Structure 1
Amino acid sequence: MQMSAPPAETWAERKILAARFWRTALCFWRGRRAWVAWSLCAALVVLVLAQLGVQILLNFWNGAFFDALERRDAEAVLFQAKLFVPLVALSVTLSAMAVWGRMTMQRNWRAAVTRHVVGYWLSDNRFQRIGHVNSGSENPEYRIAEDIRLATDAPVDLVMAMVASVLTALTFFGVLWSVGGSLDLKLFGTTWTIPAYLVIAVIIYSTVFTSVMVVVGRKLPRVIEQKNQAEARFRAAADLLRGQSGAGLEADPCERRAIWTGIIGALRRWRELAWQLTQTTLVQQSNVLLAPVVGWLLCVPKYLYGTMTLGELTQAAAAFVTVQAAFNWLVDNYNRLADWRSSAHRVATLLIAIDAAGPPGGELDNGFNEAGGEKETGGSEGNGAPANGG
C-alpha cells in the first residue's frame, strides 16, 4: 500500500522521543565499564584546555612578531620565527590527538548503544513482531547501523565545540579588554571615552550576525529533518517492495506508486534544503569576509593615534575574529543539530516499537523497571549483551 507522510510531531511527542532515546543512550555512562566513558570525557576536556592554551600563546606570538617587524629588529624577528615552529608543532599534535580522542569516544559510545539496541531487538524474537505493532519499525537495520551512528557522533562534536567556544570567548574577552583598552573619541568639542570598546564591538557585531542567521535559517532544522524523513520513507518503500515481491511475482501497483512518491518527496525536500543552504551561505560568507576587516578597522584609530603598536593591532584583530567565531557556535551547528535530532528521534521510535512488541503472550516489557531505571540483565534491555562498547 502507498506510504503517506506521518503528521508533524507535537512538543509532547518530541519530549517522549527524546527521553526514550536518552534512557538507552546513557547506558555508556553507567555500569561496570562506565569508567571508560568518564575517562574519555576527562581526556577530551584536557585536550580542549591545552588547545586553548596554545591559541593564547599564538595570539601573544602574533603581537610580539609584528612589534618586532615594526621596530625592524631582525634578531627579534628571527627569534619569533624560531619560536613559531614548536608552537605550530604543538598545535598540530594537539589537534590530531583531539580527533583521535573524539572519534574514540564516538566509537565506544556507538558500540555501547548498538549492542544495547541489537540485544533488545533480538530478545524474545521481537524483531519478528515489531512490523505488526506500529509505525517506527521501518528500516530497523538502517536505524541501528546509521541513525545510531549519527545520534552518537553528533553530541560529542557539538558538546566539544560548545565547551571550546565558551572557554575561548571568555579567555579572549580578556585579551580584547587588556590589549584594546578604551577608545577616546572627540565629538562636538567633547571627548567621549568608551571603555573596553573592542569587547562591546565584538558583542554587538556577533549579536547582529547571529540574529540575521537565526532569522534567515530559522526553517533550516525543520527542512533538514523533513529531508531525512523523506529519504527514510523512500528507503522504506523500496524495502517493502523488495520484501513482498518474490521471484516471478508482480509487484503491487500501490507499492510501485509508493516508490515514485518517495523519490518525488525526497527530491522536493532536497530542493527546499538547497534554497535554505543558499540563504545561510550568503550570511556565513559575508561574516567570514567582514569579521577580519572589522577587527582591523576598529583598531586602526588607536594605531594612527600612536596609542597601539602594530603588534597589539594584529593581536587584538585576531582576538576579535576568534571571539566572534566562538559566538557563532549555534549558527555553525544548525545542520548538525537538525541531523542529530532526526536520527535520535528515529532511534527512539524504533525503541518504542520494540517496547510495544513485548514477549509473545506475555506482559508488555519495555526494558525498564517500575522505578524508571534499566533492568539489571547483564547491562542490556532484555538480553545478556554487554552494556558498554569498551
Structure 2
Amino acid sequence: MTEVPQRQPFAADEPDDLRPADMADDENEDGDRQWSRFWLTARNFWRGWAAWRVWLLCAVLVGIVVLQLYVQFRFNYWNRDFFDALESRDPARLRHQAILLVPLCAASVVLAVASVWGRMAMQRNWRQWMAAKVIDYWVENDRYARLATVQGGQKIPEYRIAEDVRIATDAPVDFAVNLISSVLTAIIFVQVLWQVGGPIGFAVAGIQLWIPGYLVVSVALYSGLVTGAMLWVGSPLTHVIQVKNQAESELITAAHLLRDIGEGVTPKREERSVIAGLWLALDRAIRQWKRLCWQLMRTTLVSHTNSLLAPIIGLVLCAPKFLGGEMTLGELTQAAAAFTLVQGSFNWLVDNYSRVADWMSSLERVGGLLLSLDRLNGDVGTEVTPSRAARQPADG
C-alpha cells in the first residue's frame, strides 16, 4: 500500500475540492482577465514623464525599418538590372552593377546591426521595468510568504518572473517591428508586382479571361490559403505551450524542495514523498514536451512547405510572359523576388505563429500570477504600485 506523503509538492495533484475556490488552476482561469491584468500593469511603461525616451527609441526603430525597406527596394531593382545585363552580355553594365552592390551590402549590414541594438535595448528596458513591478508587488505586504501557503498554479512565481516576463515583453517589440516592416513591404512591392507583372489573358473552356495585375491577385490568394492552413493546424498551440511551461516550473519547484531537505529547511522525513514528486514532475514535463513536439511538427509542415513553394510559384507564374517575350530575364527575377517578399508580408502570421502562441501563453501566466497576488488582499484588478526600481528610467 502506497504511503500517503505528508506534504504534496504539486498543486495539480490535489483534488479540486481541496483547493480554495478563489485560487483556480491556470487552465480554468479566464484568459481575458489575465490579458487585461497583464496590460493594466505593462501599459505604464509607455506612459508617464520618462516615457519620452521609450517613444524616441520607437521612432529610431521605425526609421531603421524604413531605411531597410529602401535598401531592399534598391536590391530588387539591382537584381533586375544585373540579370538584364547578363542577358544582354554587356560587360560595362555588369561592372556598374558589381560596384553598386558594395554600398548596398554595406548599408544592409549596418542597418541590420542597428536594428538588433534598437530592439534589444527596448526589450531590455521593458523587461527590467516589468520584472521590477512584479517583484515589488510579490514582496509587498509579505505576499510572497502568503502565496506559498495557498494551492494553485500561481504558487510558482519564480519561473514566471524569470522566463514568462521576459517572453511577454520581448515578443511584442519584435512583433511590432516585424509587422511595420511587413505592412510597408507589402505596400511597396505590391506596386512592383502590379507594374512588372501587368495583366494576363488566357482561355478556359473556350472563354477568354483577362486578369489585371495577375501577380497581385495570385499572391493574395496563395497567402490566404497558407494563412488559413496555419490557423487550422496551429490553433491548439497556445494551450499546449502554456501547459508545457507549467510542467517545467513544477519540475523546478520539485528540485528546490529536494534541495531544501538537503539544507535542513524541510524535515528529512518528507524525503520519500519529495523524491517521488520530483520523478512525477519530470515525467509530466517530458509528456508535455512530447505534445509540443507533435504540435510543432504540424505547424512546421505548413511553414516549411510554404518556404519551399513561395519562390518557385513566383517563377512559374512569370514564366509564360518570359517565354512569350513580354518579360526580360531581369524582370522575371525581379517579379519573382517581389512575389516572395509580398507573400512573406501577407503570411506574417504563418512565419510567427509559434512565437505568437508562446507569447500569449507567457502573457496569460504573468497575468495569472498578478491576479493571484491581487486575491491575497481582495484587490482584484487593482494596478500594481510602482516599485523604487521601476521608477528609475533604464539605460538604453
Tell me the TM-score normalized by structure 2: 0.87
Give the equivalent residue in structure 2 for 1:150.
167
1:65 correspondence with 2:64: no
CA distance in 1, matches of 2:151, 2:285: 23
> Counterpart of 2:255 in structure 1: which amino acid?
A
SS of match in other structure, 2:270? coil
Distance 1:282 1:365 in 2: 46
Q: Which runs of 4+ in 1 moved over 6 A?
A: none
Where does 1:216-255 land on structure 2 (aligned, <5 Å)? 216-243=233-260, 246-247=263-264, 249-255=268-274
Give 1:339's aligned residue.
358
Q: Is the 8 A contact 2:34 2:364 kept in 1?
A: yes
- Per mean C-alpha deviation after superposition, the further-off stretch among 93-102 and 66-75 is 66-75
Displacement of 1:100 in angstroms is: 0.4
Q: Secondary structure at the match of 2:391?
A: coil
- Residues 238 and 361 in structure 2, CA contact (< 8 A), matched pair in contact too: no
**Contact 1:233 1:262 survives alignment (8 Å):** yes
In the alignment, what sits opposite 2:193? 176
Shift of 1:183: 0.9
Superposition map of 1:264-343 within 5 A = 264-343=283-362
Q: 1:185 aligns with which of 202, 209, 233?
A: 202
- What is the root-mean-square deviation of aligned Cα atoms in Å? 2.4
Helix, strand or coil for the counterpart of 1:184? strand
- Paired with 1:141 and 1:222, the residues of 2 have a C-alpha distance of 20
- Residue identity matched to 1:65: F
In structure 2, list runs of 5 or more residues that go unmatched: 1-7, 14-23
State the distance in 2 between where 1:333 and 1:206 align.
14
The gaps in structure 1 that reach 5 residues or longer are: 359-363
Other structure's SS at 1:49 match: helix
Cα distance in 2 between the residues matched to 1:384 and 1:303: 63
1:99-138 alpha-carbon deviations (Å, 9 max, x no partner): 1000000011111112222222232333222222453543
In structure 2, give the amino acid aligned to 1:176. L
d(CA) in 2 for partners of 1:134 and 1:187? 67
Deviation track 1:151-186 (CA, whole Å, cap 9, x = no partner) reads 111111112112211221122111100110001224
CA contact (8 A) 1:367 1:374 kept: no
Aligned to 2:38: 21
After TM superposition, give the deviation of residue 241 of structure 1 in Å.
Answer: 3.9
Separation of aligned partners in 2, 1:82 and 1:384: 52
* Structure 1 residues 365 and 187: alpha-carbon distance in aligned structure 2, compared to 1, 3 A threshold: closer
Q: Deviations over 1:274-310 (max 9, x none)?
A: 1222222222222222111111111111111111111
**CA spacing shift, 1:200–1:229, aligned 2, 3 Å:** same
What residue is the counterpart of 1:131 in the other structure? 148
Report the residue type matching 1:323 in the other structure.
V
Find the counterpart in structure 1 of residue 64 from structure 2. Answer: 47
Query: Compared with structure 1, are the counterparts of its residues 188 and 20 closer, same or farther at alpha carbon in structure 2 (3 Å cutoff)?
Result: closer
Structure 2 residue matching 1:299: 3-state secondary structure: helix
**Aligned residue in 2 for 1:9:** 27
Cα offset for 1:345? 2.1
Q: How many residues align?
A: 375
For residue 18 of structure 2, what is the aligned residue in structure 1?
none
